[in-house]
Structure 1
Amino acid sequence: MTDFADSRPRPMVPALQRIYMPFNTIAETALRVIAGGLLVTHGYGKILNPFGAAGMVEGLGFYPGFFWSPLLAATEFFGGILIAIGLFTRPAAFAAMIVLLVTVYFHGVVRGEGLGGAEKSILWTAIFLFFAVRGSNSQSVDAKLGKQI
């Protein structure tokens, strides 16, 4: 298996590599922690009232709402915590990515907002796709346990 770092192009100014390399892990960790933390804050209201979004999810065609609404709340709140700390990163990020794909559909199609309305959800989907594929890095609970899914 090829190491991810080995496949990157070399910097045009090789002297700058000493500056960039130490920040690779820091930047990736920061993206994971921030994305997970923001997902937690987005799911916080839903976790306090797990059935509160039942009408909204049924409006999107997910029946029964009393099943999907708590699942949505748990995915956002607990999934965000898992992503932020880097535990079960791949499955948590995959679940978050699915939720965000639904919001792309909701904003882009159901509400008719097109790309302008769905662009944030598309960006969030891409971030969680990255972590669903890449997993966590050395600065995560997964790494400390020595295993990733």
Structure 2
Amino acid sequence: MTEIATDRPRLIVPALGRVYSALGEGAETLLRVAAGLLLATHGYGKILDPFGASGMVESLGFYPGAFWSPLLSATEFFGGILIAIGLLTRPAAFAGMIVLAVTVYFHGIVQDQGLMGAEKSILWTLILFFFAVRGANRHSLDARLGRQF
């Protein structure tokens, strides 16, 4: 008797397969929209004062702060909106992922907070990495336009 190899292990409760199939894409969309909106919300204060973080970014070695601070603000605010609506999802998520990777360094090393200080930034970085690699699904403007980066 031969068994057919599959990419996924068999479910302990096979009846849940339909539930997982039905909810999988919706869960991914929900994660993308929530991550995008939360990133935009986080960047909202920065976009109101785009040069406000100049000193902070210079303390991390990003000179001139007058260039990097507005870039940081725009990446978080506008990038978050793009991720939420699923437009240019991959480049927006990639840019956000870079910003969040810097915050891992900032909290974990510069402020010497270790893992406890950097854990949210690590999680954010990984969520944005997922969308930078995966892109948006069919519930996105990228899909409506029939194009992805």
TM-score band, normalised by shorter chain: over 0.9
How many residues in Structure 1 have an aligned counterpart in Structure 2?
A: 144
Aligned to 2:94: 94
- Residue ranges of structure 2 left out of the alignment (5+ in a row): 1-5
Q: Where in structure 2 are the equivalents of 1:64-103 lying within 5 Å?
A: 64-103=64-103
Aligned to 2:21: 21
Aligned partners of 2:143 and 2:9: how far apart in 1?
Answer: 26
Q: Secondary structure at the match of 1:25?
A: helix
Aligned to 1:62: 62
Aligned partners of 1:135 and 1:148: how far apart in 2?
Answer: 7
Runs of 4 or more above 4 Å deviation:
none
Aligned to 1:50: 50
Aligned to 1:35: 35
Letter in 2 for 1:75: T
Aligned partners of 1:137 and 1:72: how far apart in 2?
Answer: 26
Structure number with larger C-alpha Rg: 2
Q: Secondary structure at the match of 1:14?
A: coil
Aligned partners of 2:7 and 2:114: how far apart in 1?
Answer: 36
Aligned partners of 2:7 and 2:104: how far apart in 1?
Answer: 31
Letter in 2 for 1:15: A
Aligned partners of 1:59 and 1:89: how far apart in 2?
Answer: 30
The CA deviation at 1:86 is 0.3
The CA deviation at 1:138 is 0.7
Q: Secondary structure at the match of 1:101?
A: helix
CA RMSD, Structure 1 to Structure 2 (Å) = 1.1
1:131 and 1:8, CA in 2 relative to 1: closer, same or farther beyond 3 A?
Answer: farther
1:32 and 1:8, CA in 2 relative to 1: closer, same or farther beyond 3 A?
Answer: farther
Aligned to 1:148: 148
Aligned partners of 1:32 and 1:53: how far apart in 2?
Answer: 26
The CA deviation at 1:10 is 3.7
Which structure carries more helix by proportion?
A: 1
TM-score, normalised with respect to structure 1: 0.94
Deviation per CA, 1:32-70: give whole Å up to 9, x if none: 000000000100011001111000100110000000000
- Residue ranges of structure 1 left out of the alignment (5+ in a row): 1-5
Aligned partners of 1:7 and 1:138: how far apart in 2?
Answer: 23
